[in-house]
Amino acid sequence: MTASPSPSAPLRLLAVHAHPDDESSKGAATMAMYAASGVDVLVATCTDGSRGDIQNPAMEGRPHPKRDMAGARRLEMDTAAKVLGIRQRWLGFVDSGLPEGDPLPPLPPGCFALQPLERAAAPLVRLVRDFKPHVILSYDENGGYPHPDHIMAHRVAVEAFAAAGDPARYPGIGEPWEPSKLYYDRAFSPDRFRALHSALEGAGLQSPYAERLAAWLEADAEGHTPPPPTHPTTTQIECGDYFEARDDALRSHSTQVDPEGFFFAVSAAMQRKAWPWEDYSLIESRIPVELPETDLFAGLR
């Protein structure tokens, strides 16, 4: 089945993310804007986030995440989804963790990143055939940053986009559905960070972005600093009115996000002036398109 929307049915957007909190740091304002306009927005979260470390000093010593990190993050995810006005589904895999050291230790047995591709992609193929998205959002080949779960999330999203419409592939898990467009998120766009850096310096404020911009000149072997993205921006979504919702969703992930930290260095008002967009690369389209775009559903409305 093709992805042509009927006049009476809403457009549908599926965003594929590795962990709970990724949906709030990558494309959240875009999703909130589309959801508010009547688009049916669904986040697929690949893993339970159980191996995430506590990143917020205020949460150190809290008993729930120490006892049950996956359970704590499930509650955080529920709150973030409500803030953004979206739906969310868990794909059921176990967090792989971020290996550190030299040499890097092996990944834990049974984790998401070690699954055979067809096993890892099958739940997402089922979800695509059930939800019938017109557009899929994912990460680039580097995962946005080279966490093994992000790289696997990229792989399963690409696999599902390619396979969900083919009745010969993944038989028995739903009627085929062929999404129309696949995008990679560019949350780590150097152009955006340069604009925010300049805005802060122009206002006489300290910028936390200088180190990140410099770090793009050389890769961090342990994966903490993403390399500069390699895909060009084709699509900019003007969604500045939803930056506060994005920030509130981020704060919902209180084990992972420090409310005094990096993400909140630039006020929403300043960001609206400096860079009121979220950026994407159109990777594949099964419908005619004209670039650049200002709408993920260009050609589908």
- As for how many domains the chain has, the answer is 1
The CATH number of the domain holding residue 23 is 3.40.50.10320
20-64: per-residue pLDDT in tens?
Answer: 999 999 999 999 999 999 999 999 999 999 999 888 888 888 888
205 in a domain, yes or no?
no
- Residue 295 is assigned to a structural domain of this protein: no
Residue range(s) defining the domain that contains residue 99: 12-189+230-267+277-285
Q: Is the pLDDT of residue 221 over 50?
A: no
pTM of the predicted model, to two decimals?
Answer: 0.93
251 falls within a domain: yes
In DSSP notation, the chain reads ---PPPTTSPPEEEEEESSTTHHHHSSHHHHHHHHHTT-EEEEEEEE--TTPPP--GGGTT-HHHHH-HHHHHHHHHHHHHHHHT-EEEEEEEPP-----SSSPPPPPTT-GGGS-HHHHHHHHHHHHHHH--SEEEE--TT-SS--HHHHHHHHHHHHHHHHTT-TTSSTTSS-----SEEEEE-TT-HHHHHHHHHHHHHTT---SHHHHHHHTTS--TTSSSPPPP-SPP-EEEE-GGGHHHHHHHHHH-TTT--TTSGGGSS-HHHHHHH--EEEEEEEEESS---SSBS-TTTTT-
- Mean pLDDT in residue range 270-295: 98
